[in-house]
Structure 1
């Protein structure tokens, strides 16, 4: 499992969350860092994109030696990095690509420049087996208003289907008034609903990274898309449910990736 993403100095999201998730769900994690963030549970104070040459060398180093079955792609800070990652995905052709179009952190900080959204849509979406936007990210991808309820969430589906991508997992976690957290797995011809009880906790930092990394991990281990999403949703829900066992920072704390010695949710 390769994660291509930014580094979170607070350890709750990004590369750090991905490696924890992949390890906890039974995969072996390798990584390519695209940006270094100065970040903690209170927010993001700085972002430093890694020079393109070094992103490219990391990708070549991993793909040329390790048998990468699945790739999870997270934070890509600008159009140039997006294009480099897309070129290497086309060159090495891993079996599975899960793209978490990271644009907005849980804290509300913008993590992807507006100018890069079109590049993301044209260069990377066609290479992905699945993208996993939350509601603000899904709205940004189709240039729509952020939905405020499940009905307006469902109205996004037709436009999401027009994106050049195999499948979309639209995450409903931002509908905080709802009793359950409902995610919609959208294919061209069908929609599958994944529901989980909403957990009352302030410690939700890194949930999107965790979910997408878990999906990629389960795909790499041979599960089909529906089962991989189901298992990943279950793992993430349990990590959130156990999040208050951790006392990390003064803001949005991380989920508890290692809520058991080995998180076998199968």
Structure 2
């Protein structure tokens, strides 16, 4: 396997009634496999198993039961319904016979066309070359993020106040995203972009790992080639739980995907 290349990292092989995956340790954060990456692997299995005339994931709702480890895993796909415009399925990622992630996935045939109506303007960012690339160790963080070797992320300097100990406390982080292997974003890889690092908690002076408990993603259209603009913001932090809402626009300024997740977060003493 060419470690780091998205297409190889999410590849699956049919073995009897299940799919076998080799979970790539590069797609991880602080020693834990990235949630968006895990949903993309499961989405690959669902597309292969029941995709047919509906080749693209459009709705993905994932429940993260326990953190899987890099290496061998099985994905079990159950078809729930196939209609004229959508196919709905359930997927379970297991290791050692135990469920680690469960997802409900809707497949469609997405198009590249823009929206009939759009009420959300793309996030305003400095030029891509003016934004520093996020390194292997996230500034202000306590752990390495191998994900940053396979995703080229460039955060807008206006959202980097946490680096100097002066977060804006607006709960917003935004920047440019590309796949480091040079491939274009597609409906499957967008799931990675919708689970960005660092979390909005960094801008609230709450740095550290924010493991996803549940994540719901909506893929709206096939993205144009080029970088994504991604904006993440939090609306409420209560009792060690933080919501995050993410929007992603393609190089033609079209909203291509959005997601909401509930994450665990360490609160100040």
TM-score by length of 2: 0.28
Which protein has the bigger strand share? 2
- Which one scores higher on RCO, CA 8 angstroms, separation ≥ 6? 1
Rg bigger for which structure? Answer: 2
